[in-house]
């Protein structure tokens, strides 16, 4: 059996040719060096972990344009979409590009049939109002819409209670506008020639 060497180049010659190769024993000096290397690695690793633990999450500050004088209102736009299946309350800035908060009736109740109810709309409006106050929005223009198109042009049951809840929760109401899409001429409505049979 030929001489074997470890990664440090030390050779090991077994006394008996039939004996298998065993790794050589560390000398005292080599063992100390190895231990010191591990200790420095552990210390470095612990310091990295401690740095990770001490890092605090940064809070995002939402800026709402120019500084506001005392007594002035900061306006947002509340897009209220009240269908017969759900009520959406979506608050944006005046341009409509930036969403500030969006909450639906379905997020507030568990039963599917209650999503469009006035109660769900009221809860959603209260949440919207508290979030708007946190962001510094004190007044809202309302854009109310129903499903529209070739479907119903009447807002759902949650529309009125949503507006009432917004006003009662301390938000100033600016203009209220109905923006239901009404076609001048429409595509064919679903239901067929004989209509929807109940």
Q: What is the pLDDT of residues 30-61, one digit of tens each?
A: 767 767 766 666 666 666 555 555 666 676 66
Beta carbons within 8 Å of 181's beta carbon, 6+ residues apart: 145, 148, 149
Strands 11-12 and 172-178: unpaired
Query: 118-135 vs 158-168: helix axis angle to the nearest 10?
Result: 40
Q: What percent of the chain has pLDDT over 90?
A: 61
**What confidence category does residue 68 fall into, taking pLDDT thresholds of 50, 70 and 90?**
confident
**What confidence category does residue 198 fall into, taking pLDDT thresholds of 50, 70 and 90?**
confident
Half-sphere exposure of 180 (CA within 13 A, CB side): 17
The Cα angle at residue 123 between residues 118 and 127, in degrees rounded to 5: 145
**What confidence category does residue 70 fall into, taking pLDDT thresholds of 50, 70 and 90?**
confident
pLDDT at 119 over 90: yes
Task: Return the SS3 of 82.
Answer: strand
Task: Return the SS3 of 25.
Answer: coil
- Measured CA to CA, the distance from residue 103 to residue 81 in angstroms comes to 11
Structural domains of the chain sorted by starting position, each given as residue range(s) with its CATH number in brackets: 75-178 (3.30.420.80)
**What confidence category does residue 71 fall into, taking pLDDT thresholds of 50, 70 and 90?**
confident
- Measured CA to CA, the distance from residue 102 to residue 79 in angstroms comes to 9
């Amino acid at each position: 059996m030929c001489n074997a060497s470890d990664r440090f180049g030390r050779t090991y010659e077994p006394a008996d040719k039939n004996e298998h190769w065993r790794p050589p024993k560390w000398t005292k000096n080599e063992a100390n060096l190895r231990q010191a290397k591990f200790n420095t690695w552990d210390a470095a690793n612990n310091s990295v972990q401690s740095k990770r633990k001490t890092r605090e999450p940064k809070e995002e500050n939402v800026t709402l344009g120019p500084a506001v004088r005392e007594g002035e209102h900061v306006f947002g736009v509340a897009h209220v979409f009240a269908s017969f299946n759900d009520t959406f309350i979506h608050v944006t800035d005046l341009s409509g590009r930036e969403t500030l908060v969006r909450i639906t009736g379905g997020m507030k109740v568990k039963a599917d049939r209650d999503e469009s109810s006035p109660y769900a709309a009221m809860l959603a409006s209260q949440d919207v109002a508290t979030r708007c106050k946190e962001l510094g929005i004190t007044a809202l223009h309302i854009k109310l819409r129903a499903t529209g198109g070739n479907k119903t042009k009447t807002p759902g049951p949650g529309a009125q209670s949503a507006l009432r809840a917004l006003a009662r929760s301390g938000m100033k109401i600016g203009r209220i506008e109905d923006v239901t899409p009404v076609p001048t001429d429409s595509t064919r409505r679903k239901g067929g020639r004989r209509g929807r049979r109940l």
